[in-house]
Amino acid sequence: MATTIRLMTEDDLAESWTLGRWAFGGPAEAPPQAMRVLPETHRWGAYDTATGRLLGKVTDHEEHSWWGGRALASAHVSGVAVSPEVRRGGLARQLLTAALAAARERGAVVSALYPTVSAAYRALGWEVTGVLGSAVLDTAALPSAREPGVLLRAGTPADRGAVVDLYEQVVRGYDGPLTRRGGRWDAPPPEEQPLGAGVDLLTLAEEDGVVTGALGYERGRGYGPEAALDVSDLLATTPAAARALVDVLSGWRTVTRSVDVPLLAGDAVSAVLPLERATRRGTQVFMHRVVDLPAAVAARGWPAHVRGVLDVRVVDDVAPWNSGAWRLELDGGEGRATRTGGDPDLVLGPRGLALLWTAAAGGRAVADAGLVTGPGDPAALDLLACGRPPQLLDYF
């Protein structure tokens, strides 16, 4: 069957929603945001050339993510679906290959996605690099301590910008989180939830007139044993703000038995929560892939104290512009990748490269996984893995 790969238009979105509903079990009626055209949301479709029928689709969100304190152009992939009659025929590979090439053309250096089947994405160079963390806690187990120096107030839709600013203060010191700016992040919230999708209530913490914490959550239904709070944001830049907002959650103990809290390891909130009492932790893994090797090395911030040179050969059939012999140099927080004519004794594929560049694993671990070959010492690859393991707070 001859197929045509192209970007979707507004006229294609209803058929796209139907295919996604078949794949993921969504509602029959599409939400308004699914029918909205955004310049930073690139929807790719594979069509039967003869009939024009949609056979498969991929969505590439043109966004930015934090790496080494810098906002890097990123391609965040979601909504990969193929019609049942043509699955296992290579359509997803064609779509993702086209999306990667286009993402590189616009300047994206790294891609992330949440897999339903990791093997399919590993075959295309993505690798599991972390887990979207959350913890389900008994509200009665949360510490209760009012903070006299913290003013708590109810947030309004006008505070959404302040929450984004606070989020940036918290996450820009981590590797991997989205910036939450531009594209879909700037779209108006649903009419029924003016504070933002998934947010019924918003509480802000202020100290000396400055916003130092934000708590956004969905109340859910009922007040029996099944009642639960679903927190979308629990952010704090001071220990006092973290304690005050956790105290707000603990105040729900009489009508909601549990609360699901997103986790960012090492932040002010994690130091307050009794995580050892979590009854369930999130297990939604995410994957990364380097889109453009020299741009990815040059764009991100590297630890300023790390200096070194690494020669490596990359073999990347899906993104052939990454293939070849490279010299990677780090010095004073900057990185550079230049092509060489040599024959390096360490050879990487895109999966190993993803683990190293994101610092999800070091050289010996990548070698143990069979993702590096050659006679060289894989410990030398630790130069590329000198950042911090990635973390995400957003599902896409």
Domain 3-108, architecture per CATH: 3-Layer(aba) Sandwich (3.40)
Locate 152 and state its tokens.
């708590």
Q: Which residue has the tokens 């230049």?
A: 338
Cβ proximity of 197 and 31 under 8 Å = no
In total, the chain counts a number of residues equal to 396
Topology match between the domains 3-108 and 134-281: yes
Q: Give me the residues paired with residue 63 across strands.
A: 74
Cβ proximity of 169 and 162 under 8 Å = no
Distance, CA of 92 to CA of 80 (rounded, Å): 7
Q: Which residue ranges make up each domain of the chain?
A: 3-108, 134-281, 291-383
The tens place of each residue's pLDDT in the chain, 396 residues long, gives: 799 999 999 999 999 999 999 888 888 888 887 888 888 999 999 999 999 999 999 999 999 999 999 999 999 999 999 998 889 889 999 999 999 999 999 999 999 999 999 999 999 999 999 999 899 999 999 999 888 999 999 999 999 999 999 999 999 999 999 999 998 898 888 888 999 989 999 999 999 999 999 999 999 999 988 899 999 999 999 999 999 999 999 999 999 999 999 999 999 999 999 999 998 766 799 999 999 999 999 999 999 999 999 999 999 999 999 999 999 999 999 999 999 988 999 999 999 999 999 999 999 999 999 999 999 999 999 999 999 999 999 999
Cβ proximity of 107 and 294 under 8 Å = no
Distance, CA of 149 to CA of 241 (rounded, Å): 9
Q: Which residue has the tokens 């897999």?
A: 115
- pTM here is 0.94
Distance, CA of 48 to CA of 35 (rounded, Å): 22
In which element (H, E) is residue 322 found?
Answer: none
CA dihedral 118, 119, 121, 122 (to 10 degrees): 110
Over the stretch 244-265, which tens digit does the pLDDT of each residue have?
999 999 999 999 999 999 999 9
Cβ proximity of 180 and 311 under 8 Å = no
Locate 234 and state its tokens.
């629990």
The half-sphere exposure of 179 on its side-chain side, counting CA atoms within 13 A, is 19
Smallest CA-to-CA distance from 264 within 391, 351, 151 is with: 391
Cβ proximity of 230 and 217 under 8 Å = yes
The alpha helices in the chain, defined as continuous H runs, are: 13-24, 91-105, 118-122, 160-171, 239-250, 293-299, 350-357, 363-368
Distance, CA of 365 to CA of 177 (rounded, Å): 24
The half-sphere exposure of 192 on its side-chain side, counting CA atoms within 13 A, is 4
**Identity at 67, one-letter amino acid code:** W
Going by C-beta distance under 8 Å and a sequence separation of 6 or more, which residues neighbour residue 223?
255, 256
Domain 291-383, architecture per CATH: 2-Layer Sandwich (3.30)
Cβ proximity of 65 and 178 under 8 Å = yes
Decide which of 3.40.630.30, 1.10.1240.10, 3.30.390.50, 3.40.50.11260 is the CATH code for 134-281.
3.40.630.30
